[in-house]
């Protein structure tokens, strides 16, 4: 059984774990080990605790059988561009590899859209790796449109991400 609930400070270690495992499993093969290590060094317990105690951020965890299997985190705009003040950014959405394909991403995205609206957002922005076709299809299914390119750095490696936007 899947349970969605608000992310709290007590979830910091679990969210860090989901991010670390999911990012490396999904994208790790793309990078030189030094670039990947440099990027992953930014995923510290302290950085997760700071986000979870910052009132500008809100998140939701998906628990399956008592295990945090995925999460989504919303926050203020950080992507390049001139974003209106009523823009909410979907900062991260990750699912543990062995829990992908169960609909958790859809549930978390629906929570994110509802939460962004409840926060007064008029648009929801995000970036997604150009070759992450599964995620891009999900976002497009919910009405997100591609609005430009974003260079996402992993160490010294630059990936092409696509900026996507949903009018709320």
SS (H, E, C) the chain: CEEEEECCHHHHHHHHHHHHHHHHHHHHHHCCHHHHHHHHCCCCHHHHHHHHHCCCCEEEEEEECCEEEEEEEEECCCCCCCCCCCEEEEEEEEECHHHCCCCHHHHHHHHHHHHHHHCCCCEEEEEEECCCHHHHHHHHHCCCEEEEEEEEEECCEEEEEEEEEEEC
Q: What is the pLDDT along the chain (168 residues), one digit of tens a residue?
A: 899 999 999 999 999 999 999 999 999 999 999 999 999 999 999 999 999 999 999 999 999 999 999 999 999 999 998 999 999 999 999 999 999 999 999 999 999 999 999 999 999 999 999 999 999 999 999 999 999 999 999 999 999 999 999 999
Task: Give tens-digit pLDDT for 56-83.
Answer: 999 999 999 999 999 999 999 999 989 9
Q: What is the pLDDT of residue 1?
A: 87
103 φψ region: left (φ > 0), alpha (ψ -120 to 50), beta (else): left
pTM of the model: 0.95
Q: Which residues on adjacent β-strands are paired with residue 7?
A: none
What is the fold, at CATH topology level, of the domain defined by 2-167?
A: Aminopeptidase (3.40.630)
Which conformational region is residue 155 in: left (phi greater than 0), alpha (psi within -120 to 50 degrees), or beta?
Answer: left
Those residues with Cβ within 8 angstroms of residue 146's Cβ, 6 or more apart along the chain or in another chain: 162, 163, 164
């Amino acid at each position: 059984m899947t349970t969605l609930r608000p992310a709290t400070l007590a979830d910091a270690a679990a969210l860090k774990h989901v991010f670390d495992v999911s990012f490396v499993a999904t994208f790790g093969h793309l990078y030189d080990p030094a670039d990947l290590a440099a990027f992953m060094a930014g995923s510290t317990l302290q950085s997760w605790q700071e986000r979870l105690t910052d009132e500008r951020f809100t998140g939701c965890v998906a628990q399956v059988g008592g295990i945090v299997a995925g999460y989504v985190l919303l926050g203020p705009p950080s992507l390049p561009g001139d974003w209106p003040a009523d823009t909410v950014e979907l900062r991260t959405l990750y699912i543990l590899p062995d829990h992908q394909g169960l609909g958790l991403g859809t549930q978390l995205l629906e929570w994110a859209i509802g939460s962004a609206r409840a926060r007064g957002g008029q648009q929801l922005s995000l970036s997604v790796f150009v070759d992450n076709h599964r995620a891009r299809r999900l976002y497009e299914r919910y009405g997100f449109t591609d609005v430009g390119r974003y260079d996402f750095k992993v160490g010294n490696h630059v990936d092409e991400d696509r900026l996507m936007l949903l009018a709320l």
